[in-house]
Amino acid sequence: ETGVTQTPRHLVMGMTNKKSLKCEQHLGHNAMYWYKQSAKKPLELMFVYSLEERVENNSVPSRFSPECPNSSHLFLHLHTLQPEDSALYLCASSPRSGADTQYFGPGTRLTVL
């Protein structure tokens, strides 16, 4: 295992629900990332946090709201999602912002009905 955990591993939600994805890293890293992996599309970087400050927001719709309360935890709050938001959401961390190697969690498989 990489030292990055994500919960839940699977989530099914309706378009009017509000849910949150959680990521935790046990590596002492200072940077954390959210990616979206859809079928037949390249991995898309959504957000980057460095020392709990958002440093990258890759034109993501406002129905996705990240939160980084400390350097070990990262959340992705979801509300009024669309079916096309169904995907695998991957969290990653690295020692510092801009560092070379990112370590990924197992992902949360999200299905929006």
Partner 1 sequence: AQSVAQPEDQVNVAEGNPLTVKCTYSVSGNPYLFWYVQYPNRGLQFLLKYITGDNLVKGSYGFEAEFNKSQTSFHLKKPSALVSDSALYFCAVRKNNAGNMLTFGGGTRLMVKP
Shortest approach of partner 1 to residue 15 CB, angstroms?
A: 25
Q: Is 110 in the site for partner 1 (CB under 8 A)?
A: no
Using CB under 8 A as the binding rule, whether residue 76 contacts partner 1 is answered as no
Nearer to partner 1, 43 or 113 (CB): 43
What string of H, E and C letters represents the secondary structure of the chain?
A: CCCEEEECCEEEECCCCEEEEEEEECCCCCEEEEEEECCCCCCEEEEEEECCEEEEECCCCCCEEEEEEECCEEEEEEECCCHHHCEEEEEEEECCCCCCCCEECCCEEEEEC
| Distance in Å, CB of 62 to partner 1, minimum | 21
60 contributes a contact to partner 1 by CB under 8 A: no
Residues numbered 10 to 49 that lie near partner 1 (CB under 8 A) are: 31, 33, 40-43, 45, 48
Residues lying near partner 1 in the complex (CB under 8 A) are found at: 2, 4, 6, 31, 33, 40-43, 45, 48, 50, 55-56, 90, 92, 97-98, 100-107
